Amino acid sequence: MEKTQITISSDLQKFINKFEPNKFKLLAKGIEIRGIGDLHRNITRAKELIEKMKLKLVVLHDAEMISYGGFEVNNIMPNSSSFDQL
């Protein structure tokens, strides 16, 4: 099995540098931020930061992620459906 190198987009790197998450997992489409105490405040902060910096990113979360205090910040892919966007 071949290991693929995951690259971080410039928008995602700008977000990581500004948001400064303590724990995050690199995903093929973005990052998963974990172990957040005040999840609602941090999701709102992430969305505001993305909008303010005009980054091509989207914040996603679901019930499973919320159970462990996490959410995703993903690159917006052309022709992708973002029905999970909250």
Q: Which of 4, 2, 9, 5 is nearest to 57 (CA)?
A: 9
Query: Is 68 buried (19+), middle (13-18) or exposed (0-12) by CB count in 10 A?
Result: exposed
Tokens standing for residue 28: 């093929």
CA distance 43 to 77: 20
Q: Which architecture, in CATH terms, is 10-75?
A: Alpha-Beta Complex (3.90)
CA distance 9 to 26: 12
Q: Where are the domains of the chain?
A: 10-75
Residue 7 pLDDT level (bands cut at 50, 70, 90): confident
Digit-coded pLDDT (tens) for 26-68: 999 999 999 888 999 999 999 999 999 999 999 999 999 988 8
